[in-house]
Amino acid sequence: MGKLSEWEARLQVAKESGYNMIHFTPVQGLGKSNSAYSIKDQLKLNPVYQSKGRKETLNDLGKIIQKMRNEWKILSICDIVLNHSANESPWLQAHPECAYNLVNAPHLRPAYLLDRALWHFTLEIIAGTWKAHGITQNDISREQLQRVGAVLNDCVIPKLKIEEFYILDVEKIVEEFRDKALDQGPNLSLFPPGLNLEIVQDPQYRRLQCGIDMELALKLFNREKNTVAQGEDRVVLCCAELRTQLMLLNRRAREVIDSHLKQAITCIIAGLEYFWLQDGGPKWKRVTKEDSISYQYFTHPGADTCLADDEALMDSKKAAFVMAHNGWVMNDDAMKNFAEPPSMVYLRRELIAWGDSVKLKYGQQPEDNPYLWKHMKEYVTETARIFHGVRLDNCHSTPIHVGEYVLDAARKIQPDLYVVAELFTCNEKTDNIFVNRFGISSLIREAMQAGDAHTLGATVHRYGGEPVGAFIQPPARPLTPCIAHAMLMDQTHDNPCPIKTRSVYDLLPNSALVSMSCCATGSTRGYDELVPYHVDVVKENRIFKSWSDASVDFACPSIGIKAGIIAGKKALNKLHQGLGAQGYNQVYVDQVDTNIISVTRHCYNTHKSVILVAHTAFQMPKKANETGHIPPLCVPGIVDEIILEARLVQKANGPVIEDKAFIAGLPDYVCEIRQHIQLKESDMVELSEEGERNLQVVDFSSFTPGSVIALKVSMNPSTTAAILQLRTALSQFGYRMRSYSGSRLTNKQGTDFRSIVQRMSLIDINRVLYRCDAEEKDDGKAFGAYEIPDKGPFVYCGLQGFISVLQDIRATNDLGHPLCENLRNGDWMPEYIAARLLVHPGTKELGKWFQQVFGFLQQIPRYLIPCYFDAIIYGAYTIILETIWSKMSEFVRTGSGFVKALALGSLQMCGQTKNAPLPALSPNLLAPKPPCCINAETGRKEQACATLAAGLPHFSHGIMRSWGRDTFIALPGLLLIPGRFQEARYIILAYAQCLRHGLIPNLLGGGTHARFNCRDAVWWWLQCIQEYCRIVPNGHTILKDLVSRLYPTDDSLAEEAGFCEQPLEDVIHEALQKHYQGQQFTERNAGHSIDENMRWEGFENCIGVDETTGFVFGGNVHNCGTWMDKMGSSEVSGNRGKPATPRDGSAVELVGLSKSALRWLIKMHEKGFYPYDTLNKVVDGKVQKMSYKKWDCLIQENFEKHFWISVTPNPKLEEAPQLINKRGIYKDSYKATLAWADYQLRCNFPIAMVVAPELFSPENAWIALNAAEKVLLGPLGMKTLDPSDWAYRGNYDNSNNSGDPSVAHGFNYHNGPEWVWPVGYFLRAMLHFASRVSDAEASSKTVALLKSVLSIHYEEIQRSPWRGLPELTNEKGAYCKDSSPTQAWSMSTILEVMFDLHNKG
């Protein structure tokens, strides 16, 4: 740059080239090497910039920088070097503690000795000492490399005895041990397990001064010896054992040090191979002091005498001035300081050392090295005062806490400090640590690193902003990971000349491609001016030329616009800045052929584009003036103008003349450039023809290597109009849509999407959002789930199926996804969405809206369809969700995101299906009456009630859709809590109509094909009616609702609705009466027609009440009447027809549910809402009665006595103590046929705790719940069996066809896999009893547990494409392929937890 007074004229070159920021290498005083990055005095201007007779300072430089900003509008940045300082830094002589030296870093002493030995070896080679070994100063050959390695290994390094710094003086330690052992006597304590003697490193790293833990040695070796007398004889034996151990430790230490030294030799030889022999290396001619055998790793403050003097110096006052050089370690962990222990980098010679600078030692805080922290803070803040930004040199080695400290101080001076850095961590995650901690604005990346055009294109794409056609991001969206913002350089200042590594013709196209990236860009003067050699920041003494507006020739000390590619760079910089300022933030890179790349920059706001095509030349072209075959360019729109066309042309072919005074470029090459011309005026391209569907085709007529062309493209009028219509439609979704003129768009009246959706019922919205493939096909409208060829169907037919996929690809702008490809290839997907809605009356209006909007979508370029399609679908989806929640209860409307997500289970599961209807309700039912529709096939009016699917997709249609127990476990959470009271009412009454044998159906089958083979559904039904009366305003009126009995008697055939009617309260009483009387019956149509696996005995059913305990009981060992209902089906294993979990007798949750029902009905009777309070039956011809209260009291009196397994054994009260596997729990059943089954720890007892907490002693309940948490609670679900149980098998695989009966055909369905719905009852039980135990911290711990567990459920809902909670997982939360991905009761019971939390405040 010359003298400071000359800078302005030289800096003007950057201004005239169109740059808006200039990067300065360090401007402070430099060390002896003159390297720009070896700074001697961080606080003073480099004196070489001072004019004769003047002493300019940093303040004078600041005036130039300020003028550049104010008058030229150019900012500036300067390097800061934090990791090292020049060897000659005067302040280091006053403060040697600021560098790593042999006093403050004694672990470097062995490495220093090795370093000195290598230096003496170099001197000896120069002196001819090693000629006898075939090593001479002038022999630079591979053979000499081998001889050098051998001499180092055999002669030079062994005599250093480096291992002595790391090993023990065995005899000295044994003697110390002997004295202590004699004084103390034998150690009689137990032998301490797991303790081993290790070498304790001497902190000062002196020879043979390492030690051991003597106290531990005495414990381990000072023991009694039975074979000899006490006293010295015993101690002699102890010493011998210790000596053996110490020698073993020394041998191991020697082996470690030997491996380090062998690595050192490997590194030395590898370095010499590069310097002596490798292509690309400097190829030294001889060994000299400058070109020595190895880098010098340390400064040496003395004469080169001998190794003995060097070792003596380590213990002298000069040791503080033996300072470690800084450098670079290949593939090192950037998060670790290679100069701190335990690193052995300096001993292993793995450092590529910078011999002109020493590494600075900051410590962990300013107090550790006050002068250094103060000095470097002042240096950085002064730099920030003058410049507008900084470049962090050697950033990857900068201690993070140091960088944060000085940059924080700099930002107080310059709040908008622009920070750039070049990181070499080889790991983007590590890069991001530095970026985030330092607040780095841009990471420097280099286009010249690309080895071919394909890689160059990929580089522009990677750092080039959003892709063209990027998704329109919603106003509120989750944060997503991204790569750090780049400053993409044509070439950085410290890399080889691109004219030599590629070709001169490549510089213009390379720069053009960089300019099209959507990030900061930059270059060097040497690059722009076609300087044919590397401008070395250490060795270069010539200066750059100044600017002149006049036409100048090569010999002048100034340059103008025609020099190098400056004219091209000016135009490209203007283009780059304009694209950024005007919002051209989308980028598309296309590899046209091997050497040609096109880059499109697109503006979303205007949908205008700039397309740049560059003909690269990574090698010198053989025919520089020939175009060759280039595929035509298809332009999606109309070419408005050619912004620029440029090429590099060789005008002469003379020899390169080296300028001794100035840095000069090639004079024979000229950049020809034309700007802002029409397509017909181009010398490079011509319009081929009008393309189909708004396309223009451009042919390349003269596009030689080194050519560049940039086209400005806009949409045609019809496309522009269609996009405006789409934006108008999108404006109602919250997108900030504007017209091309910039005005805010508003939606027209009459097409308001929100009002359309508001008029729809939640049953209609179920069809819009959800419906799995089987549900859709059940309608018979010829629709199923949309399927992308070779990709598979979406999980839902409704919008959620599309949203689940779009959400992931939107976040990452994955426009290569098959969904996007499908949209670009045709209009099938939008047409499907509209068509399936048009065929149903309740969704027809919405279908028309989509049909109209998608009509506009068809008129825009195919590459834009994915982004607008996504915006339409996401915007519609958002409004629909808001509408759903607005139609629900206040708890949901004002609830958290998790509550709302769970409440959507109500929409997923509750819908109307053709082949799984509710039985027709009473025609005399009081209003509101059930909804009706006209059957399209018969023309008759039919009831159109919704049903609850047990799970999707496995339990979604036909007889497998509606399960009694599943329905009523799920109904409170999915219908009552969200406020869908009428749908709940209709379902409760429909199942009441089917009561038979005192039971409601297990499988509904429309009522006429119901199966009555479960004992628990009726109790869940009663619990649900109780919840209805509690939650719904005046809910008790349901007890008076008329029920049309489908089966007036247990043996009657199905009757029409209205034939036999009675109030619901009578049906409830009958259910209890039947249980009290006891029932035994064979299931109708028993045999393989209704269950192909069950044995005949399994069709025999019984229920009853044990009058001694009040416990309901039923079932037998051949069937399974509770939710754990897996029936074996494997012929191979022999488990067919065997229930995995019969749970006959009195199942714990049924006892709790029956107690809950009785307690509630007693209260309802007392309030006058329920007429019954007594049951009767005939026994031996006599009527026997039992009141509800007596039954209730029996259960209360007997529950703890028969179900609690106490923590401490009590043989008098335990019926079968030999069967107890775990204590402090509640039994799973009472009086099961398989007696051991009673004692299994399962997840059922918390259900009883929630519905009938009065049965439980709070302290016992808390013990049992803690056991369940410890043993059964998994990440997402609860184990269905204690893992210590002999029957536990944690992984469910229904396709298992092995001979193992415990798992074949999924026999272990309820014997270990972790089900989700029991978690809800477990957490509710914890919440209830936490406030009722003596543990003062129980409540706070429980709330913490709930938050921890529920956070995983929230994450699962957000992650699942079904947007639900699964039926179950395998052990430890592992994915289970045979589980329903979304299950009604899973969503419901977790929502009930949230409801309880809300009610408890």
What is the Cα–Cα distance from 632 to 698, expressed in whole angstroms? 6
C-alpha count within 13 angstroms, C-beta hemisphere, residue 22: 25
Find the catalytic residue in 332, 393, 764, 1091: 393
First to last CA, the chain: 72
DSSP one-letter string for 800-855: HHHHHHHHHHHHHT-TTSHHHHHHHH-SHHHHHHHHHHHTSGGGHHHHHHHHHHHH
User: Using CA atoms, how far apart are residues 656 and 535, in angstroms rounded to an integer?
Assistant: 16
The percent of the chain in helix, strand and coil, each rounded to the nearest 5, is 40, 15, 40
**Measured distance CA(1093)–CA(1086) in Å, rounded:** 11
Catalytic residue among 169, 452, 494, 640: 494
Sheet order of strands, 1079-1082 included: 1079-1082, 1100-1105, 1112-1114
Nearest-angstrom CA–CA distance, 672 and 979 = 75
Check if the beta carbon of residue 790 is closer than 8 Å to that of residue 818.
yes
Cβ–Cβ < 8 Å for 1370, 1389: no
Residue 633 to residues 300, 686, 692, 874, 1110, Cα–Cα distance (Å):
65, 10, 14, 34, 86
Q: What 3-state DSSP class applies to 1158? A: helix
41 tagged catalytic: no
What value, to the nearest 5°, has the Cα angle with vertex 1150 and ends 1010 and 1074?
A: 55
What Å distances lie between residue 1205 and 432, 1143, 1226, 1233, 1260, CA to CA?
56, 18, 6, 19, 9
Active site residue 534: no
Phi and psi (nearest 5°) for 162? Answer: -60, -30
494 is a catalytic site residue = yes
User: Per-residue b/e over 215-247, b at no fewer than 16 CB within 10 Å?
Assistant: eebbbbbbbeeeeeeeeeebbeebbeebbebbe
Q: Which of 23, 260, 396, 602 is catalytic?
A: 396
Distance between CA atoms of 151 and 157, rounded to whole angstroms?
8
Q: What CA–CA distance (Å, rounded) separates 768 from 877? A: 9
Separation between Cα atoms, residue 1322 and residue 1314, nearest integer Å: 13
Cβ-based neighbour number of residue 1291 at 10 Å: 16
Strands 1182-1187 and 1146-1147: unpaired
- Residues 1241 and 1322: their CA atoms lie apart, in Å, by 14
Residue with tokens 């400053």: 487
Q: Give the C-alpha separation, 680 to 985, whole Å.
A: 76
Residue 108: CA count within 13 A, CB half-sphere? 27
Contact (Cβ atoms closer than 8 angstroms) between residue 104 and residue 361: yes
Interatomic CA distance for residues 636 and 626, integer angstroms: 28
Residue type, 1356: E
Residues 6+ apart with CB under 8 A from 803: 873, 874, 877
Can you tell me the distance from the alpha carbon of 1112 to that of 1015, in angstroms, rounded to the nearest whole number? 9
Distance CA 984, CA 875 (A): 31
Long-range contacts of 534-542 (CB under 8 A, 24+ apart): 534/495, 534/496, 534/497, 535/493, 535/663, 537/25, 537/35, 537/36, 537/37, 537/493, 537/494, 538/33, 538/34, 538/35, 538/36, 539/34, 540/663, 542/659, 542/660, 542/661, 542/662, 542/663
3-class DSSP assignment, residue 41: strand
Active site residues: 393, 396, 494
